[in-house]
Amino acid sequence: MKIAAAAALAVFTIATAAHADSAGDFLMKAAKGDNAEIMMGKLAQQKGQSARVKKFGQTLVTDHTKAKDEVATLATSMSVSLPSDVMPDAQQAYDKLAQTNGAEFDRMFVSHMVEDHQKDIAAFTKEAKAKDGKASSLAAKQLPTLKKHLALAQSLQAKEGKSSMSMPQRMQ
């Protein structure tokens, strides 16, 4: 009987640790994503040609700062240390965008935001559907904002494509 109880406790402990690792990984990726969106939003405010792109940049900074604070609060409660950097691909995209100006910047920025938010929505949807605790609840809570950002980026892509930007190109 004691062996069965010990085995059950071990399985529970391993499952709990695996969940914590999974939730911790999600929070770390979410924090890096928020860092990247804040960084990109600031760049859009500085380099954007279109007032719409600059305004979208401000929206990204405001919303992702709030999201980052929510992630940090949950991470602290779970004893997860969050990174202050961004994913390597986000840094590469930033570096490439920082070298462009005017309508080319607007086109590339908006195209990147569409692709990036599509990936973010997929990751947050997966976490939300896991329904495995506070990280899933946070993902579900933040999904509407990510979907709003995607809709804004897609709208910009359509509007800017008709005015100052040519057809969007994928960032390489």
Higher pLDDT residue, 50 or 6?
A: 50
- Residue 16 belongs to some domain of the structure: no
- Residue 67 belongs to some domain of the structure: yes
- Residue 10 belongs to some domain of the structure: no
Residue 77 CA to residue 61 CA, distance in Å, equals 24
DSSP string, 109-165: HHHHHHHHHHHHHHHHHHHHHH--SHHHHHHHHHHHHHHHHHHHHHHHHHHHHHTT-
Does 167 have pLDDT greater than 60? no
pLDDT of residue 112: 97
Token pair for 136:
């899933």
pLDDT tens-place string over residues 70-107: 999 999 999 999 999 999 999 999 999 999 999 999 99
- Residue 9 belongs to some domain of the structure: no
Instruction: Provide the pLDDT confidence category of residue 21 given band limits of 50, 70 and 90.
Output: low
Does 14 have pLDDT greater than 90? no
- Residue 71 belongs to some domain of the structure: yes
- Residue 11 belongs to some domain of the structure: no
Residue 69 Cα distances to 3, 29, 131, angstroms = 44, 14, 21
- Residue 55 sits in a domain whose CATH number is 1.20.1260.10
pLDDT of residue 64: 98
Q: Domain tally for the chain? A: 1
pLDDT of residue 1: 52
Structural domain boundaries, residue 91: 25-162
pLDDT of residue 132: 80
- Residue 130 belongs to some domain of the structure: yes
- Residue 144 belongs to some domain of the structure: yes
pTM over 0.95: no
16-20, 67-71, 85-89 — which is least confidently predicted?
A: 16-20
Does 11 have pLDDT greater than 50? no
pLDDT tens-place string over residues 126-162: 999 998 899 999 999 999 999 999 999 999 999 866 5
CA angle, 144 then 106 then 151, to 5°: 20
